[in-house]
């Protein structure tokens, strides 16, 4: 028991250390002098978890800040898009300049921005998204402008990035926030310059009586109500307060990365993970011992006729390496699986050790994309290698299909989803130029790399089969119903899914509601746990299947192991409890859930297949066959 507690502590320390290591500076700090202009930029308007109206539908797509139906004030010099990394664009960032003027250390109050007129139909448009809880995402010096919140369990103050565009009052009437009080925290440095270390906002809704004489500090005022049957004039205004702070630049992200979710029982979660680790160790131990005993027994016994009935997996040695049906597809899937798996592991590892900071927007996505292209080499290598193991002859088709099939399918789904996004004028729609860039990078980097990989594998000698394949296929005896692949997949999927279920919840929040995802240390740990459980469960089931004299292990191991995809998809669909608004949100949700489930399925299937391949090559290599 003491050992268990120690292990638990060590693990907690490791996880929190890797979480703290996260904000190594991703970008160089900017120092300002008093009176310097500090730019406030505006990012897209996104859905959030904080709905104004609980019963309102959830929308999953975002809008440009300057989308015309919102009528937000445009800067005098005109709106300008800021250049962003590829990853940042792909993940939806659309950053523009803003009309807000901020000068370091100069408090200004009640600055008027502009007065706009909302026609009735745009008023109902804005009201709809106020109800759905859409929020602004503004940025100052790379930091998100946040709402200050309090953790009800620990009373810690933390920052939740973004703030709602409006609120619902007690009568369920939506009101638009048109006045923003920015509180910018600065940290004075010894050389007399200053750094921005935090930014929060208080938004209010004020119906100004005279747009030329705005008094944003009035004690009593009417909130803005956008009328859905006539025009409404709204004046926007803001105040800026500079607040000194002790927070150093290096730790300025701390408050933003507060883990706040009362639903998550961390302790129980860690306990569960440890139980899984523990069970995995026992299971691998038993499996190894059984196999060793089997091999020892087989090599001692002379092949007496009456012994044959009890021989188990040795009986099928002449068929176990018989190529499966559709060897091409399986090898291509395994190649893609290796590629995705390596990409996911590496980027998760880099993120866990703080190399991809949240201040460097989109770095994670960019790194994922680049890694994926580069790993095409290893993916294709494995694809060709496995294809050769299946004694396939059409290596040219294999070389072509590996970099095309899976990425091409993903890309097509992406384009399809994009059309839906365009139809609702969402900013999430990836611009044609970026699509083209992605396509070209894929062509220019991924495909040549893949070809090199395939050729390397072809040069290599094929795996030497430890036993010869018989001319005539052996008949497979009738199998019990529960040994069917689909039932085994259902059984095998549960355990690895348990390892990542919690992580999926956070990943979905970050995908759909623009939450910062930062628990990469924990994700990395869960990810490894998932792979190990996948492997062990699949190996055990394949062992039983071989003992039942069923030598079709190739597809079986892939499918059984990818059973986790079923749970990932069902979890997304059933447990989401989202009331989705409109066809586009549904298509987005189902489409992305399917993509995620399929990706996880291919990764796990690959792990299951490769480990079963290793198992069969090993055990049949160790028995004596005459």
Ligand X SMILES: *[C@@H]1O[C@H](CO)[C@@H](O)[C@H](O)[C@H]1NC(C)=O
Residues that bind ligand X (CB under 6 A): 105, 107, 241-243
Closest contact distance (angstroms) between CB of 107 and ligand X is: 4
Q: How far is the CB of 241 from ligand X (least distance, A)?
A: 4
Q: Give 5's contacts (C-beta < 8 A, 6+ positions apart).
A: none
Helix (H) or strand (E) holding 597: helix 582-622
Nearer to ligand X, 48 or 200 (CB): 200
**Quick one: which of 350, 512, 377 has its CA closest to 454?**
377
Residues with Cβ within 8 Å of residue 278, at least 6 apart in sequence: none
Q: How far is the CB of 184 from ligand X (least distance, A)?
A: 9
DSSP string, 270-336: HHHHHHHHHHHHHHHHHHHHHHHHHHHHHHHS---GGGGGG-GGGGGTTTTTSPPSSHHHHHHHHHH
The one-character DSSP state at 251 is G
If the CB atoms of residues 241 and 505 are measured against ligand X, the closer one turns out to be: 241
Instruction: Give the nearest distance from C-beta 112 to ligand X in angstroms.
Output: 19
Q: Closest CB to ligand X among 247 and 540?
A: 247
Say if CB 402 and CB 380 are below 8 A apart: yes
Closest to ligand X by CB, 241 or 260: 241
Of 107 and 479, which has the nearer Cβ to ligand X? 107
Rounded Cα–Cα distance for residues 387 and 453 (Å):
13
Do the Cβ atoms of 540 and 288 come closer than 8 Å?
no
- 262: tokens are 């009362």
As measured in angstroms, the least distance from the Cβ of 368 to ligand X is 41
Report in angstroms how near the CB of residue 243 gets to ligand X at its nearest.
5
Question: 572 in helix, strand or coil?
Answer: helix
Q: In DSSP terms, which residues pair with 586 in a beta bridge?
A: none
Q: Please, which residue, 241 or 517, has the CB nearer to ligand X?
A: 241
Choice between 243 and 264, CB closer to ligand X = 243
**Closest-CA residue to 176 (of 246, 128, 220):** 128
* Backbone φ, ψ for residue 584 (5° rounding): -60, -45
Tell me whether residue 184 or residue 330 sits nearer to ligand X (CB atom): 184
Q: How far is the CB of 183 from ligand X (least distance, A)?
A: 7
Q: Are 579 and 594 in contact (CB under 8 A)?
A: no
CA distance 174 to 170: 10
Rank residues 200 and 550 by Cβ distance to ligand X and give the closer one.
200
The least CB distance from residue 580 to ligand X, in Å, is: 42
SS3 361: coil
Sign of CA dihedral 468, 474, 480, 485: positive
Q: Burial letters for 226-241: b for 16+ Cβ neighbours within 10 Å, e otherwise?
A: bebeeebebbbbbbbe
Structure tokens at 232: 């409404």
Nearer to ligand X, 25 or 244 (CB): 244
CA 595, CA 414: separation in Å to the nearest integer?
A: 9
Report the 10 Å Cβ neighbour count for 467. 18
DSSP strands (E only) in 451-575 = none
For the bound state, the minimum distance from the C-beta of residue 135 to ligand X, rounded and expressed in Å, comes to 24
Residue 417 C-beta: closest distance to ligand X, Å: 45
Pick between residue 238 and residue 385 the one whose CB is nearest to ligand X.
238
Nearer to ligand X, 109 or 510 (CB): 109
Q: What is the smallest separation between the CB atom of 244 and ligand X, expressed in angstroms?
A: 7
Residue 238 or 589 having the CB closest to ligand X: 238
Q: CB of residue 364 vs ligand X: minimum separation in angstroms?
A: 35
In the complex, the smallest distance separating the C-beta of residue 206 from ligand X, rounded to whole angstroms, is: 19
Give Cα 303 to chain centroid, integer Å: 54
388/189 Cα distance (integer angstroms): 64
Residue 523 is encoded by which pair of tokens? 């994700």
H/E element holding 341? helix 327-352
């Amino acid at each position: 028991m003491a050992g268990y507690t120690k292990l638990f502590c060590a693990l907690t320390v490791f996880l929190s250390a890797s979480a703290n290591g996260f904000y190594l500076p991703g970008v160089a700090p900017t120092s300002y002098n008093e009176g310097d202009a500090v730019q406030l930029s505006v990012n897209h308007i996104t859905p959030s978890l904080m709905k104004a109206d609980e019963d309102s539908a959830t929308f999953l797509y975002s809008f440009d800040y300057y989308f015309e139906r919102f009528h937000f004030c445009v800067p005098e010099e005109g709106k300008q898009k800021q250049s962003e990394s590829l990853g940042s664009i792909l993940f939806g960032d659309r950053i523009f300049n803003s009309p807000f003027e901020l000068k370091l250390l100069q408090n200004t109050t009640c600055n008027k921005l502009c007065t706009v007129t909302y026609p009735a139909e745009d008023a109902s448009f804005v009201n709809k998204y106020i109800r759905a809880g859409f929020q602004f995402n503004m940025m100052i010096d790379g930091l998100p402008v946040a709402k200050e919140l309090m953790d009800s369990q620990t009373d810690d103050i933390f920052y939740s990035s973004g703030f709602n565009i409006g609120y619902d009052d007690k009568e369920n009437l939506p009101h638009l926030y048109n006045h923003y009080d920015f509180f910018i925290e600065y940290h004075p440095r010894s050389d007399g310059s200053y750094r921005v270390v935090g930014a929060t906002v208080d938004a209010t809704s004020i119906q100004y009586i005279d747009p030329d004489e705005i008094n944003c500090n009035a004690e009593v005022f009417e909130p803005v109500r956008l009328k859905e049957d006539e025009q409404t004039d709204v004046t926007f205004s803001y105040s800026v307060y500079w607040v000194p702070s002790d927070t150093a630049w290096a730790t300025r992200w701390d408050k933003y990365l507060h883990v706040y979710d009362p639903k998550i029982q961390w302790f129980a979660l860690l306990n569960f993970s440890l139980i899984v680790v523990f069970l995995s160790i026992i299971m691998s131990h038993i499996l190894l011992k059984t196999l060793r005993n089997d091999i020892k027994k087989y090599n001692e016994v002379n092949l007496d006729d009456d012994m044959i009935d009890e021989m188990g997996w040795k009986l099928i040695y002449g068929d176990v390496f018989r190529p499966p049906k559709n060897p091409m597809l399986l090898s291509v899937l395994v190649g893609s699986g290796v590629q995705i798996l390596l990409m996911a592991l590496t980027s998760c590892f880099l993120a866990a050790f703080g190399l991809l900071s949240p201040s460097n927007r989109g770095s994670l996505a960019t790194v994922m994309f680049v890694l994926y292209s580069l790993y095409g080499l290893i993916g294709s290598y494995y694809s060709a290698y496995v294809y050769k193991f299946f004694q396939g002859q059409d290596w040219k088709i294999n070389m072509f299909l590996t970099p095309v099939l899976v990425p091409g399918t993903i890309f097509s789904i992406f384009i399809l989803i994009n059309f839906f996004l365009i139809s609702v004028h969402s900013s999430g729609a990836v611009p044609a130029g970026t699509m083209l860039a992605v396509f070209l990078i894929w062509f220019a980097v991924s495909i040549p790399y893949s070809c090199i990989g395939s050729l390397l594998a072809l040069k290599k000698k094929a795996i030497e089969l430890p036993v010869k394949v018989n001319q005539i296929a052996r008949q497979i005896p009738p199998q019990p119903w529960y040994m069917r692949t689909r039932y085994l997949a259902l059984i095998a999927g549960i355990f690895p899914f348990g390892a990542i279920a919690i992580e999926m919840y956070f990943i979905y929040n970050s995908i759909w509601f623009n939450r910062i995802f930062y628990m990469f240390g924990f994700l990395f740990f869960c990810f490894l746990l998932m792979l190990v459980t996948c492997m062990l469960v699949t190996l055990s089931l394949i062992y039983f299947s071989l003992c039942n004299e069923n030598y079709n292990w190739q597809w079986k191991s892939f499918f059984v192991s990818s059973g986790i995809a079923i749970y990932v998809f069902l979890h997304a669909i059933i447990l989401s409890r989202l009331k989705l608004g409109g066809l586009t949100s549904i298509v987005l949700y189902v489409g992305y859930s399917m993509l995620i489930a399929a990706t996880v399925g291919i990764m796990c299937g690959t792990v299951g297949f490769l480990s079963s391949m290793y198992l069969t090559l090993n055990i049949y290599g160790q028995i004596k066959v005459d």
